[in-house]
Structure 1
Amino acid sequence: MVFKRTKPHIVLSSEQKAYLEKITKSGKSEKREYDRARIILMDADGKGVNTIARELHTNRTKVYLTIDKALSFGVETALKDLSGRGKKRTIGNEERAFIIRTACTKPSDLGYPHEIWTNRLLTKYIRENAPEEYDLKSISNGTVSKILTRSNIRPHKIRYYMEKTDPEHERKEAEVLHVYREVKTIREEGSGKLTALLSYDEKPGIQAIGNIYPDKQPDEKHGYISRNHDYKRNGTLSLMAGIDLITGQIIPLVEERHRSLEFVKWLELVDRYYPDDYKITIIMDNHSVHTSKETMKYLSSRPWRFNFVFTPTHASWLNIIEMFFSKMARSMLRGIRVDSKDELKNRMLEYIQEINNEPVIFTWKWKMDEMPGG
């Protein structure tokens, strides 16, 4: 059965049409005013309700209400909300303060075993413990949620932060940034210094996970890789890598462990990589193997060859090599399956070789403008 429209289309004067078109073209119009102006213009052009709702990605009810209001009260009135619209606010400032104050208190401090609030638990507490004069006995979960959202309070979420516990944080941070400043100067102006500047870290515990049943590649029926949940563990490997901050070349070493023995082995690899007259500066974190007896013994055998610059405690994000590890984890290592640790090692080294064939030079920008000459 076909339903015929009984109401006439809106008729606009030239001034009204120009006014509405100005609203739709202005970037400062409120969205609801903009939407209503579009609805009125399209109805005046003879378009049906279904067509308007579809083209404006809205619902038929909204279109009907706007058209009815324009026909009953005029175009300008249809753009605004009628007076008395909406439910009057019934929860006062004191009640809202009580709700927010409660949400900012740990549930465990109020006798619950919970560490953080759920919306239902918080609402239950408010209903049962709000003062009688607040009249919150029947407050809904949705109302509590809206009050907290408007106040930007989210007691059901945890966002972690890192406390600065290193008393030498500023000094170490400045030393790292000075290395990045030197890198920038060498790239832009060149340098007569025989120096190498590296960023180093370890990525331990890379799992060599193997499939028990083979993967099924995408086809016309299933547009994604199908993988069985069962798998086998073939052990883990540790990647030790340093990136040359001038050339972007990565110097890797893959071993089963990452003790002082393996770290010294990586230093020997770096020692062979650069000419004997180069001074090698390496940015690294405060891992114990970097200052162990074995490491110090090796460094004493190569006096003036190496210079270690340590990042502040819990500030490994200052180390550029972390960007490479993140990229590697999100691309090459993501979902990887291998039959052995040897296969995993070979594929990691192959990936790094591909990077070295077209090296990516990372540029550090944070706080560089605050450095001398920035």
Structure 2
Amino acid sequence: MKVYEVTLEAEERQRLHEMLAAGKSAARKLAHAHILLKADAAEGGPAWPDARIAEAFGVSVATVERVRRRFVEQGLDAALDRKRRGRPAREPKLDGRAEATLVALACSAPPDGRKRWTMQLLADRLVELRIVDAISDETVRVALKKTKIKPWLTERWCIPPEANAEFVAAMEDVLDVYRRPYDERRPLVCLDEASKQLVGEAAAPIPAAPGRPERVDYEYVRNGTTSLFMVAEPLLGWRAVKVTGRRTAKDFAEVVRWLVEDVHEEAEKVVLVMDNLNTHKLASLYEAFPPERARRIVRKLEVHHTPKHGSWLNVAEIELSVLSRQCLDRRIETREELERQVAAWEEARNEQGVGVRWRFTTADARMKLRRLYPTL
């Protein structure tokens, strides 16, 4: 006769059957439910021997014995759940002072000869400073995770100068332009440009296959560079990309002429937002066209320049960023292929009508960017 005999009540048996039918519990818990049902020695129960239960459900005989014992001594819930063994509490490796030192180190310049701090470098430095006797890189990683510090990560950002009247004047001018409602007689157009190097493959890539990513040879062939002029109308959700072979004043002038004479021929004024690139000047029109035509184009322009180190204020730069991530972040060999890929991206994005809702206002700037204002 078994020392710990399982005899299930009707309610307990029903609960186990419902649990198995639902199948939503942990695998271990379901296995224990099977064990209890097959070990049930109540009237009409199967009362299987331990060896048969173990063989049927792929567990050891010792496991079956433990489940029966916990059921008899502690009840159904204890038999279904894994026994939790208490662990003695351990002193944290890093106290408050040590964590503060670690954070200060992670935010400081790395040692000579290293580009950035690594977890192991930080662990070694804590030992050198006698903050701790020994510590693993994993403990350092967990400690830094709490403070959301990532020594290996660097973000590139346009950092504006502090207390700079020229910056805030240009910023508020552009922000006021973005608050204007749409007017077909004075369409808002944002313009920016970027370069793209044409790169060919030195060896044919190996396509991806199950269990293997695409393989691309690290060698490549340079085929020159091109310029991409991004024209975006944020209120209409429309953009156009012009690919040119060079980045000159005449190339810029031709894009502006196309905007004024072809795209918005009927408009009274074209409100043009752009950055301070050396070619983004009205003088470029006079380098490309006779003075009469250049002046006619200038009269139809209302130009607003974003501040230096404030290119994030240009919606066209946002569109260029999207274009780069979605389309250009790969090797493209020829200008013809680049034009084809860019045209496909442009068509799809225009069909979706992706617009921009500019929410950052002058009031926001005066509150959130107080340090940029000389008098605030």
**TM > 0.5 fold call:** yes
Q: Distance in 2 between matches of 1:92 and 1:222?
A: 40
* CA distance 1:50–1:103, change in 2 (3 Å): farther
Return the offset for 1:236: 0.9
Matched, 1:164 2:160: yes
Tell me the equivalent position of 1:326: 321
Q: Distance in 1 between matches of 2:109 and 2:205?
A: 50
Tell me the equivalent position of 1:86: 87
Q: Distance in 2 between matches of 1:200 and 1:50?
A: 73
Return the offset for 1:250: 3.5
Q: Distance in 2 between matches of 1:66 and 1:279?
A: 85
Tell me the equivalent position of 2:367: none
Given that 1:17 and 1:41 are in contact with CA atoms closer than 8 Å, whether structure 2 keeps it comes out as no
Cα displacement string for residues 288-321 of structure 1 (whole angstroms, at most 9, x for unaligned residues): 2223743588765544311122234333333332
SS of structure 1 residue aligned to 2:304: strand
SS of structure 2 residue aligned to 1:366: coil
- Please tell me the root mean square deviation across aligned C-alpha atoms, in Å: 4.9
Matched, 1:43 2:32: yes
Given that 2:188 and 2:234 are in contact with CA atoms closer than 8 Å, whether structure 1 keeps it comes out as yes
Return the offset for 1:127: 2.4
Q: Distance in 2 between matches of 1:239 and 1:106?
A: 39
Return the offset for 1:181: 3.4
Of structures 1 and 2, the one scoring higher in RCO (CA 8 A, sep 6+) is 2
* CA distance 1:90–1:360, change in 2 (3 Å): same
Q: Distance in 1 between matches of 2:315 and 2:66?
A: 57
* CA distance 1:106–1:288, change in 2 (3 Å): same
Matched, 1:176 2:181: no
* CA distance 1:110–1:327, change in 2 (3 Å): closer
- Which amino acid in the other structure matches residue 160 of structure 2? K
Q: Distance in 1 between matches of 2:281 and 2:107?
A: 44
- Which amino acid in the other structure matches residue 117 of structure 1? W
Tell me the equivalent position of 1:116: 116
- Which amino acid in the other structure matches residue 130 of structure 1? R
Unaligned runs of 5+ in 1: 1-5, 26-33, 54-58
Say which one has the larger Rg: 2
Given that 2:172 and 2:362 are in contact with CA atoms closer than 8 Å, whether structure 1 keeps it comes out as no
Q: Distance in 2 between matches of 1:7 and 1:68?
A: 6
Given that 1:106 and 1:117 are in contact with CA atoms closer than 8 Å, whether structure 2 keeps it comes out as yes
Given that 2:233 and 2:239 are in contact with CA atoms closer than 8 Å, whether structure 1 keeps it comes out as yes
Given that 1:208 and 1:234 are in contact with CA atoms closer than 8 Å, whether structure 2 keeps it comes out as yes
Tell me the equivalent position of 1:98: 98
Unaligned runs of 5+ in 2: 38-52, 365-376
> 251, 261, 264: which one pairs with 1:262?
251
* CA distance 1:214–1:117, change in 2 (3 Å): closer
Q: Distance in 1 between matches of 2:201 and 2:178?
A: 43
Given that 1:107 and 1:114 are in contact with CA atoms closer than 8 Å, whether structure 2 keeps it comes out as no
Tell me the equivalent position of 2:48: none
Given that 1:99 and 1:144 are in contact with CA atoms closer than 8 Å, whether structure 2 keeps it comes out as no
Percent identity between matched residues is 19
Tell me the equivalent position of 1:240: 229
Given that 2:236 and 2:355 are in contact with CA atoms closer than 8 Å, whether structure 1 keeps it comes out as no
Segment drifting more, 163-172 vs 66-75: 66-75
* CA distance 1:262–1:337, change in 2 (3 Å): closer
- Which amino acid in the other structure matches residue 86 of structure 1? R
* CA distance 1:269–1:49, change in 2 (3 Å): farther
* CA distance 1:355–1:283, change in 2 (3 Å): farther
Q: Distance in 1 between matches of 2:9 and 2:65?
A: 18
1:4-43 alignment, distance < 5 Å:
14=11, 39-40=28-29, 43=32
Given that 1:106 and 1:116 are in contact with CA atoms closer than 8 Å, whether structure 2 keeps it comes out as no
Matched, 1:127 2:127: yes
Q: Distance in 2 between matches of 1:39 and 1:222?
A: 31
Segment drifting more, 95-104 vs 273-282: 95-104
- Which amino acid in the other structure matches residue 161 of structure 2? T
